[in-house]
Chains A and B, each alone.
Chain A
Amino acid sequence: MTNSKKYLVLFTLFFLCFNLVLTAKPFESTYKPLPSVNVLIKNANIYDGEGNELLQTDLLIKDRKIEAIGKDLPVTNDFEVIDASGKWVTPGIIDIHSHMGVYPAPGVRTSSDGNEATSPVTADVWAEHSMWVQDPQYTLALSGGVTAFHVLPGSANLIGGRGVTVKNLQRNTINSMKFPDAPHSLKMACGENPKRVYGNRQQAPSTRMGNIAGYRKAWIEAEAYLNRLNEYESKSDEAKEMGYKPTRDLELDTLAGVLRGEILVHNHCYRADEMASMIDVAKEFNYKITAFHHGVEAYKIADLLAENNICGALWADWWGFKHEAYDMVQANIAIVDQARGGTGCAIVHSDDAIGIQHLNQEAAKALSAGIRAGYDISKARAMNWITSNPAKAAGIYDQTGSLKVGKNADVVIWSKNPFSVYALAETVFIDGGLAYDRKSGFYPSSDFDVGIINSNKNRLEE
């Protein structure tokens, strides 16, 4: 290659990059990480999120990535060194079920934006367009080691709209929080909520059979729409000019995205029999359910979930607030995890702004219940329930969710073993940037927190 050609290539590359930065497509992530720090964490006990426990091991963060994990990594002047003797290190915690931002604090009518409960199918709405970026709850989740979370619309509707995965770094636009290259999700909901909301208005659905009919009707429309799109796309350029392009339909765009495999289905569903019916609906229309959420009865069909590669995103012990949540078993998560020879996918989720701060404790409860039920499950494996498994279900596992060389440096240093209630997240890195440091009092404050009790202080300042 001649020099001039080289320059041309370089110039083109430069131009392309520059152009991308300036003109991100509408609704795409514009996330920029915090300043990069290169850190050598010495002598830590590590749960790597892949089921391994590595005692007294070093972890090197360099240029936003996990550069190395091993014993006695060399100390050089290029890195800040953190002595983590006696402490524990895990991947950043990920919550697959959050309503932070769409149901922010304070919980007031004017920013309660999680349910577009005006029609049973609202696949056209996107949770990210409701999220309040100044929700003071993000910081609280960060103090619990949460580095990314998936925000869903609520469960009033059969099909509630698109969910979004974000970095737990508060910014003043939603696009700058969006997790780069994370797929959208689709929130669907079974059971009591949709049939109550619409049944009370004397409209469909008012029964569980009405629910199922509602999903199927929506998918029939989506199939027809996708066929029209595909038919148009398969035409020659000439034929395209001659014919009409199908009119865009926001609702069907989302559903077609699911049928194309681009959007991941997250299905709120408590009862075992309803989960089984939803698997049939998915088979009928040839889409995949990524995870059932809440699934209080998942243990009753754990094998079916494992066979269909569906994760159970579950609470450790919530029950009794409604009828479909009556059959709680604390070993639910462990049973789902251990199904079909340990091939099940279990996730501990929060659905709660307090719970998200303590997902490690929720995992501890689920683990001990599993052990009491007779399963041989290690803490290292249980750590997957709040790291790699939710990362897989959010479609971001290639980037984060475990401590593997080359992955994003989303790392938490805990004061003690994170399966203890006394463990506190001390230091949190997101993409190799320092996001939270308990000892030095380094944490973000939302605009909401500023001067709101005493005008010269932020909310959490003593």
Chain B
Amino acid sequence: MFIKIFKTFLCFFYVGALYSETILIKNATIYDGVKNIPFEGNILIENETIKQVSSTNMQADFVIDASGMIVTPGIIGTDTNIGIVEIGALSVTRDDSSEIYSIGFSIHDAFNPKSTLIPWNRSNGVTSALSLPQGTSSPIGGLGSYFLLDGEFDITSNKDMVMIGSVGGSSNESRAETYAIMDDLLSFASSINIRDLSSDADIAELIEASPIAEFMELHPRDVKALFKLTNDNLPLIISTHRASDILKLIELKEKYNLNLIIKGAQDASLVASKIAESNTPLIINPINNIPGSFDELASNIQMASRLEREGIDLMFNTPRSHNFHLVRQGAGVAVANGMSYEAAISAITSTPAKVFNIEQRGEIKTGYFADIVIWDADPLEPSSMPEYVFINGKSIDLTSRSSRLRDRYTSQPEKPNTYRD
């Protein structure tokens, strides 16, 4: 009860935006997110950032005794549709696809900071997320954005900071055709000079002169996005599984100097050394060992540990954004099957921050934004929950619609349920 009142107090206090106060998280077992062994220490938060991480004692306006508790950076949801899909099977609540734009389709402006997925995920430790569109009509295309899950209308985001794509087994066309389209698009992108993008009329001329751009019915938005891939090092997440596809994409990466990330990659252990040599980070679901298609025959529960041994940068996802926090369970399963604990934490905190250039997040480090979770027990045990979640130094109310419904049906039995709190 004391903790609850205290938390509520913290919330109200900071909602008032009196940002001069300091908070000290004391005697915590700190996993900093970058594969260092954990250490006992204190974290001083001032305003939005971590002012100091130290083993010496410090003074602060508020002190949280985290003795015996694990503290980690907030989880970064790599590969979600948080804020752009409310109910999966209800298309009127989905904003993750476009029929007109392809390569340049951005989901950014659809983001709903009041989505119920946000309080639920952050009360389970997810403090920010990359939201990605569904695939588009183009094998490379669709722009994802990064959002802070503070639930504020004044959205904190990195707009259009990643592009997606996919290749693999399909009932419609050969993957050889997909590669040809990718190659043509990237070749077109490489040929573009920044001066050609000065006006939509100029871009229209470019499109007319390019058979692939014309065939794909590209729009100026699409061309501008494509340009960023080959010229601005825009991260490109391609979903694929089969080992031969992974190698083919690495060829494309090298040919066009792409900032490539491969997602899915269920066959990755077959070509792990090649992936490592090419410095290609992977987004994998470590709990998925199902040979779900003929492209995923090498699916194996030991995949994460095998890839870690090769020194590949690993990030974890889970297919259900409503419970993206269950990426912790996947990470726990990876550890149970041979991965190191520190690397598993890193796969959901600092590695996505590094790979996607999310500056000053994903680690517990002096000067970084204070996105911090204090756990009631081991965070990789899915039965654990946060005691405190900080986003930008602000203690977040851990109430969710789910916790409200629970309370509604486990208290006040004397009242009809619709008259309960």
Q: For A216, list chain B residues within 8 Å (CB).
A: none
Is A115 among interface residues, defined by CB-CB distance under 8 A? no
The contact of B417 among A300, A329, A419, by CB within 8 Å, is A300
Is B287 among interface residues, defined by CB-CB distance under 8 A? yes
Is A364 among interface residues, defined by CB-CB distance under 8 A? yes
Contact (Cβ within 8 A) A106 B383: no
Q: For A353, list chain B residues within 8 Å (CB).
A: 290
Chain A nearest Cβ from B292, distance in angstroms: 5
Contact (Cβ within 8 A) B383 A365: yes
A106→B296 CA distance, assembly (Å): 8
Q: For B320, list chain A residues within 8 Å (CB).
A: 318, 320-321
Contact flags B18-40 to A (C-beta < 8 A → 1, else 0): 00000000000000000000000
- Given A365-B382, A453-B297, A459-B291, the answer on whether A331 and B88 have CB atoms closer than 8 Å is no
The total of interchain contacts (Cβ-Cβ below 8 angstroms) comes to: 117
Is A88 among interface residues, defined by CB-CB distance under 8 A? no
The contact of A331 among B298, B322, B406, by CB within 8 Å, is B406
Contact flags A365-393 to B (C-beta < 8 A → 1, else 0): 10111001110000000000000000000
- List the one stretch of B44-52, B327-335, B356-364 in contact with chain A: B327-335
Q: For B380, list chain A residues within 8 Å (CB).
A: 421
Is A361 among interface residues, defined by CB-CB distance under 8 A? yes
In this complex, what residue of B is CB-closest to A330?
A: B402
Contact (Cβ within 8 A) B406 A453: no
Residues facing A in B385-413 (CB within 8 A) are 385, 402, 405-406, 409-410
Contact (Cβ within 8 A) B288 A317: no
In this complex, what residue of B is CB-closest to A459?
A: B297
Contact (Cβ within 8 A) B293 A331: no
Contact (Cβ within 8 A) A374 B410: yes
Contact (Cβ within 8 A) B292 A321: no
In this complex, what residue of B is CB-closest to A420?
A: B381
Is B153 among interface residues, defined by CB-CB distance under 8 A? no
Is A231 among interface residues, defined by CB-CB distance under 8 A? no
Contact (Cβ within 8 A) B323 A317: yes
Chain B CB within 10 A, most for which of A323, A331, A368, A421: A421
Chain A nearest Cβ from B329, distance in angstroms: 6
Residues facing B in A411-462 (CB within 8 A) are 419-424, 452-453, 459-460
A372→B385 CA distance, assembly (Å): 10
Provide the main secondary structure of the chain B interface. loop
Q: For A364, list chain B residues within 8 Å (CB).
A: 381-383
Contact flags A347-361 to B (C-beta < 8 A → 1, else 0): 000000110011001
Q: For A341, list chain B residues within 8 Å (CB).
A: none
Contact (Cβ within 8 A) A320 B88: yes
The contact of A354 among B289, B296, B335, B337, by CB within 8 Å, is B289
Is A399 among interface residues, defined by CB-CB distance under 8 A? no
Chain A CB within 10 A, most for which of B270, B287, B380: B287
Chain A nearest Cβ from B233, distance in angstroms: 35
Contact flags A320-348 to B (C-beta < 8 A → 1, else 0): 11110011111100010000000000000
Q: For B406, list chain A residues within 8 Å (CB).
A: 299, 329-331, 373
- Given A107-B292, A321-B88, the answer on whether A423 and B336 have CB atoms closer than 8 Å is yes
Is A108 among interface residues, defined by CB-CB distance under 8 A? yes
A336→B287 CA distance, assembly (Å): 28
Is A113 among interface residues, defined by CB-CB distance under 8 A? no
Chain B nearest Cβ from A273, distance in angstroms: 12
Contact (Cβ within 8 A) B335 A361: no
Is A192 among interface residues, defined by CB-CB distance under 8 A? yes
Contact (Cβ within 8 A) B405 A322: no
In this complex, what residue of B is CB-closest to A192?
A: B89
Q: For B337, list chain A residues within 8 Å (CB).
A: 424
The contact of A318 among B323, B382, B409, by CB within 8 Å, is B323
Chain B CB within 10 A, most for which of A107, A329, A365, A368: A329
Q: For B171, list chain A residues within 8 Å (CB).
A: 109
Contact (Cβ within 8 A) B335 A320: no
Is B98 among interface residues, defined by CB-CB distance under 8 A? no
Contact (Cβ within 8 A) B381 A329: no
In this complex, what residue of B is CB-closest to A331?
A: B406
In this complex, what residue of B is CB-closest to A299?
A: B409
The contact of B409 among A335, A357, A420, A453, by CB within 8 Å, is A335
The contact of B88 among A109, A322, A328, A357, by CB within 8 Å, is A322
Is B268 among interface residues, defined by CB-CB distance under 8 A? no
In this complex, what residue of A is CB-closest to B302?
A: A462
A460→B270 CA distance, assembly (Å): 11
Is B366 among interface residues, defined by CB-CB distance under 8 A? no
Q: For B60, list chain A residues within 8 Å (CB).
A: none
Q: For B273, list chain A residues within 8 Å (CB).
A: none
Chain A nearest Cβ from B383, distance in angstroms: 4
Contact (Cβ within 8 A) A323 B323: no
The contact of B290 among A105, A374, A453, by CB within 8 Å, is A105
Q: For B294, list chain A residues within 8 Å (CB).
A: 106, 108
Chain B nearest Cβ from A27, distance in angstroms: 29
A452→B270 CA distance, assembly (Å): 13
- 18 additional contacts (CB under 8 A) given A192-B89, A367-B383, A372-B385: A106-B292, A108-B294, A137-B290, A320-B320, A321-B87, A321-B320, A323-B87, A323-B90, A330-B402, A354-B287, A357-B289, A365-B383, A368-B383, A369-B383, A422-B335, A452-B297, A453-B270, A460-B300
What would 21 A/B residue contacts be, using CB atoms closer than 8 Å? A105-B290, A143-B301, A300-B409, A300-B417, A318-B322, A320-B116, A320-B117, A321-B322, A329-B402, A354-B287, A358-B333, A361-B329, A364-B381, A372-B385, A373-B406, A373-B410, A421-B332, A421-B335, A422-B335, A424-B337, A453-B297
Across the A-B interface, the 6 shortest Cβ-Cβ residue pairs: A421-B332, A320-B322, A368-B383, A322-B89, A321-B88, A329-B406
**Which residue numbers of A lie inside 8 Å of B, CB to CB?**
105-109, 136-137, 140, 143, 192, 299-300, 317-323, 326-331, 335, 353-354, 357-358, 361, 364-365, 367-369, 372-374, 419-424, 452-453, 459-460
